[in-house]
Amino acid sequence: MPSILSHPAVPLGLAFVFGREKVSPRLLVAGLAASVLPDLDVVAFRLGIPYLSPFGHRGFTHSAGFALLLALAAALFAPALRSPKRWCLGFVFLAAFSHPLLDAFTNGGRGVALLWPLTAVRFFAPVRPIQVAPLSPRAFFGPWGWRVLFSELLWVWLPVAFAVGAVAAWRKLRCKSSFGACP
């Protein structure tokens, strides 16, 4: 898995792209939480639940179904999140589902149960350039952790920053070509 430091990159990038008029600060916080929430399943190790169990690490909390449940909960709280229901639903779904997708690009673990409960099959991306983060804080604050952070900078943060920059440049060009009609 990428570390807890990099899963928020996707909702942060999306919030910039969509802007405050679509993604309120409260909705952004909900998206940030949804992007890291799937890794609460690491408690399964302490409870003796096997890794490959549907309730083990990278099991049901790393599925599209779980992301949808989080998104539906966000939609129910749309007034408190100060955003329209459809934006809460879409933004939180993308934030939550980005977590297992990023995990699928890591070079460790036993795959991600993206389609649970339809199937217990665990998936990896066809290429896996992201260095898997250790589950131990002690290991994270050593050489392995530095490799993880460099890998996440290269394969998570830079692509998100590039996409955000491309959207910003496109908006600027679009505004110039429309003779100042853009805010």
Give a yes or no: residue 109 inside a domain. Answer: yes
Give a yes or no: residue 41 inside a domain. Answer: yes
pTM (predicted TM-score):
0.92
Give a yes or no: residue 183 inside a domain. Answer: no
Identify the pLDDT of residue 180.
57
How far is it, in rounded angstroms, from Cα 35 to Cα 166?
23
Give a yes or no: residue 160 inside a domain. Answer: yes
Q: Is the pLDDT of residue 181 over 70?
A: no
Identify the pLDDT of residue 63.
97
Percent of the chain with pLDDT over 90: 79
Domain span at residue 76 reads 9-177
Give a yes or no: residue 95 inside a domain. Answer: yes
Q: How many domains are there within the chain?
A: 1
Question: Which tens digit of pLDDT belongs to each residue from 11-55?
Answer: 999 999 999 999 999 999 999 999 999 999 999 988 999 888 999
pLDDT band at 116 (very low <50, low <70, confident <90, very high): very high
How far is it, in rounded angstroms, from Cα 183 to Cα 176?
11
And the tokens for 64?
A: 């599209």
Identify the pLDDT of residue 171.
86
